[in-house]
Structure 1
Amino acid sequence: MQTEQLVTLWILFIVTISGNAIVLFSTWRRKRKSRMTFFVTQLAITDSFTGLINIMTDIIWRYTGDFMAPDIVCRVVRYFQVVLLYASTYVLVSLSIDRYHAIVYPMKFLQGERQAKVLIGVAWSLSFLFSIPTLIIFGKRQLSNGEVQCWALWPDDSYWIPYMTVVAFLVYFIPLIIISVIYSIVIRTIWMKSKAQAVIISSCPGGKTSAGYSSRGFISRAKVKAIKYSIVIILAFVLCWSPYFLFDILDNFNLLPETKERFYASVIIQNLPALNSAINPLISGLFSNRLCPPFEDRRTRRLGGTFRDRSDGGQEMQVLSKPEYI
């Protein structure tokens, strides 16, 4: 399946790089950059480096067969691959914490603009810190089949079990528990505010709320859309990474039979984390109304004038100029 794997990796690489490049270009062009824009940018940067370092190096090694570079290159490449492994998760945790403050503590959220940068700084710092053992564990070595590869320098393969167990908990299980708890609180808060809003609507003339706010209780449409985007991004992460870590844990404990089906499943599952980096920009494009500003401007002209030209007063322009999604 060497040819099929190479074709799959090339497709993932092209989609990952081109998709995230469009997202980065879109966020760079925005004049009004919100905190959600900042997190989308960080996620796109992480996915772009995943394509360049993780997917591309895998493609090169499949062409060369043996690892041709020096030992130091092996250790550095493996180190940054693991850094991106941690960062892809911890950026999502940071995004979840930020959304938690946006919904549960909106007043403090508005006053703490530095929080987003601090969260991302902590996420990347932990990623670089937890990846340091990789510089010691991995190195250039000759395998039993005669191949020279960038591989773990264990005395024997039994060391894979504690190593992969610790990595699985630090990269996947613990962050997933944190994210699940956070969004449970967020969804509960939105539900409680929707009840409060129902009471207010019943006491308002005509039963109408203020412009620019949803029926979920003093939560703007942009915030609700950002929450939906975050949940979809996290669901994509769970669907792509769950089979990978579950398969690795079962494989390390020798709980999987040595069959041809296991080999084919392994080939597919090993590509799922890379698929996540390719899916994320597609999700961003699905939720963003401004991913391609030139096309949006052309569509606006085709509909007949700008929003400002069509508005009868200041209120409509004020509502329509609110940032959608981020």
Structure 2
Amino acid sequence: MNGTGNNLPESFTTVSPEAWTGIFIYTGVFVVAAIGNVSAFVCILNLIRRRPSPMNKLLLHLNIADLIVVFVLIPSEIGWRLSIGWYAGDIPCRLVQYFRVFGLYLSALIVTCITLNRYYAVLYPLRSLNGNNRVRIMIYSSWIGATLCSAPQVVIFRVASHPEYNQFFQCVSDSLGEKGEIANGIFNLVVLYFVPLVTIIFSYGSILHKITQDSVTTVTDDDNVILRRSGASVLERARTRTTILTGGIIIVFLIFWTPYVIVVLWELIDGDSLVLVSSYLQDLFFIMVLGNSTFNPLVYGWLYRAKNSRRIQRGFGMCAKSE
């Protein structure tokens, strides 16, 4: 006999201590991330008004992606833990699932664009004269790519009742089958993790190789190109700056994403044995992914130590003084 709302198991109606822990952590992340990213949005807009460089535009769209993550994905995690079931209806189920991944896709694709933009600026400096057109195409492509990559969520997810308790509903993805779920998981990991990672390693590996081999340093500020004969000290500073940039981006990306990727791959390969990993730890790994997305503007603003970056950093400082 199907259950009713009056005789649902306690686990379907009472928020567990584990869920409360997650709620408090997500709430703290939301408050910090919301304040930081809204402030960053205002500051980047001010920077673009003064200097609409390609890099500033990329940072703006990266920040927009982070805002989507902060104001859609994190609240949905909190709300889901509080409600336990899903009672918002079928259309909200599909839309929430769509935007939950849309922000992550957009963030990953913009990170890839930032990497490629730096690659072109250093290895093909004369082409940076057309940097605005290139970045415009990159931004459009990122939004279109995120839209297309997220679209399957609208089809995959739906509201379904529990097979034994028909008054308990969840927003689930049970239409793909086991092989479909594996294919979907692999696709998500490729776009969100492996594409940016391979791009970062290839691009900045090429940059380091060029700086090491060339006797002429190409200095770019995204709008103007300056070619000058480099002394040893200038070459060393360029090499050090790019080394810090390369190592910082790769290390931050790996730290925030790799634990979660390992868990997802583990689940795809042998989901039954995933019980060996604490659910608290699994939640922590997902929160780390959100941390990467929400703090991207600060990470990239700090790491870019070229002229454009110093202007960005000064811009953030002036914002704090309401200038």
Q: What TM-score results when the alignment is normalised by the length of structure 1?
A: 0.76
**CA deviation string 1:20-45 (max 9, x = no partner):** 11211111222123221111111111
Contact kept? 2:204, 2:246, Cα under 8 Å:
no
Give the deviation of 1:189 after TM superposition.
1.5
Mean Cα displacement is larger for which, 184-193 or 279-288?
279-288
Of 292, 296, 303, which aligns to 1:280?
A: 296
Give the deviation of 1:196 after TM superposition.
4.0
Q: Which runs of 5+ in 1 are unaligned?
A: 198-207, 299-326
- Other-structure match for 2:75: 56
Question: Given the superposition, is the C-alpha separation of residues 74 and 215 from structure 1 closer, same or farther in structure 2, using an over 3 Å criterion?
Answer: same
- Other-structure match for 1:90: 109
Contact kept? 1:141, 1:153, Cα under 8 Å:
no
Give the deviation of 1:192 after TM superposition.
2.2
* Count of residues paired in the alignment: 283
**Which secondary structure does the structure 2 equivalent of 1:150 belong to?**
strand
Give the deviation of 1:154 after TM superposition.
2.7
- Other-structure match for 2:209: 188
Correspondences of 1:155-170 after superposition (within 5 Å): 156-157=177-178, 159-170=180-191
Counterpart Cα distance in 2 of 1:113 and 1:155: 41
Contact kept? 1:161, 1:249, Cα under 8 Å:
no
- Other-structure match for 2:119: 100
* Structure 2 letter corresponding to 1:280: N
- Other-structure match for 1:133: 152
Question: Given the superposition, is the C-alpha separation of residues 261 and 131 from structure 1 closer, same or farther in structure 2, using an over 3 Å criterion?
Answer: closer
Contact kept? 1:256, 1:262, Cα under 8 Å:
no
Contact kept? 1:75, 1:134, Cα under 8 Å:
yes
Q: What TM-score results when the alignment is normalised by the length of structure 2?
A: 0.77
**Which secondary structure does the structure 2 equivalent of 1:173 belong to?**
helix
- Other-structure match for 1:73: 92
**Which secondary structure does the structure 2 equivalent of 1:140 belong to?**
strand
- Other-structure match for 2:20: 3
Give the deviation of 1:158 after TM superposition.
5.1
- Other-structure match for 1:14: 31
Counterpart Cα distance in 2 of 1:285 and 1:107: 24
**Which secondary structure does the structure 2 equivalent of 1:292 belong to?**
helix
* Structure 1 letter corresponding to 2:256: C
Question: Given the superposition, is the C-alpha separation of residues 178 and 261 from structure 1 closer, same or farther in structure 2, using an over 3 Å criterion?
Answer: closer
Question: Given the superposition, is the C-alpha separation of residues 56 and 234 from structure 1 closer, same or farther in structure 2, using an over 3 Å criterion?
Answer: farther
Contact kept? 1:241, 1:272, Cα under 8 Å:
yes
**Which secondary structure does the structure 2 equivalent of 1:188 belong to?**
helix
Question: Given the superposition, is the C-alpha separation of residues 246 and 153 from structure 1 closer, same or farther in structure 2, using an over 3 Å criterion?
Answer: same
Contact kept? 2:216, 2:230, Cα under 8 Å:
no
- Other-structure match for 2:314: 289
The answer to whether structure 1 residue 27 and structure 2 residue 40 are counterparts is no
Counterpart Cα distance in 2 of 1:255 and 1:66: 23
- Other-structure match for 1:154: 175
Counterpart Cα distance in 2 of 1:250 and 1:49: 28
* Structure 1 letter corresponding to 2:196: P
**CA deviation string 1:192-212 (max 9, x = no partner):** 23x446xxxxxxxxxx9789x
Give the deviation of 1:184 after TM superposition.
1.0
- Other-structure match for 1:324: none
Q: Which runs of 5+ in 2 are unaligned?
A: 1-17, 218-227, 304-312
Give the deviation of 1:174 after TM superposition.
3.0
Question: Given the superposition, is the C-alpha separation of residues 52 and 214 from structure 1 closer, same or farther in structure 2, using an over 3 Å criterion?
Answer: farther
Give the deviation of 1:238 after TM superposition.
2.5
Question: Given the superposition, is the C-alpha separation of residues 47 and 229 from structure 1 closer, same or farther in structure 2, using an over 3 Å criterion?
Answer: farther
**Which secondary structure does the structure 1 equivalent of 2:234 belong to?**
coil
Question: Given the superposition, is the C-alpha separation of residues 228 and 118 from structure 1 closer, same or farther in structure 2, using an over 3 Å criterion?
Answer: farther
* Structure 2 letter corresponding to 1:23: A
Question: Given the superposition, is the C-alpha separation of residues 259 and 168 from structure 1 closer, same or farther in structure 2, using an over 3 Å criterion?
Answer: closer
Contact kept? 1:26, 1:290, Cα under 8 Å:
yes
Question: Given the superposition, is the C-alpha separation of residues 163 and 284 from structure 1 closer, same or farther in structure 2, using an over 3 Å criterion?
Answer: closer
Contact kept? 1:137, 1:153, Cα under 8 Å:
yes
Give the deviation of 1:112 after TM superposition.
3.6
Question: Given the superposition, is the C-alpha separation of residues 159 and 32 from structure 1 closer, same or farther in structure 2, using an over 3 Å criterion?
Answer: closer
Backbone CA RMSD of aligned residues: 3.1
**Which secondary structure does the structure 1 equivalent of 2:71 belong to?**
helix
Correspondences of 1:226-237 after superposition (within 5 Å): 232-237=248-253
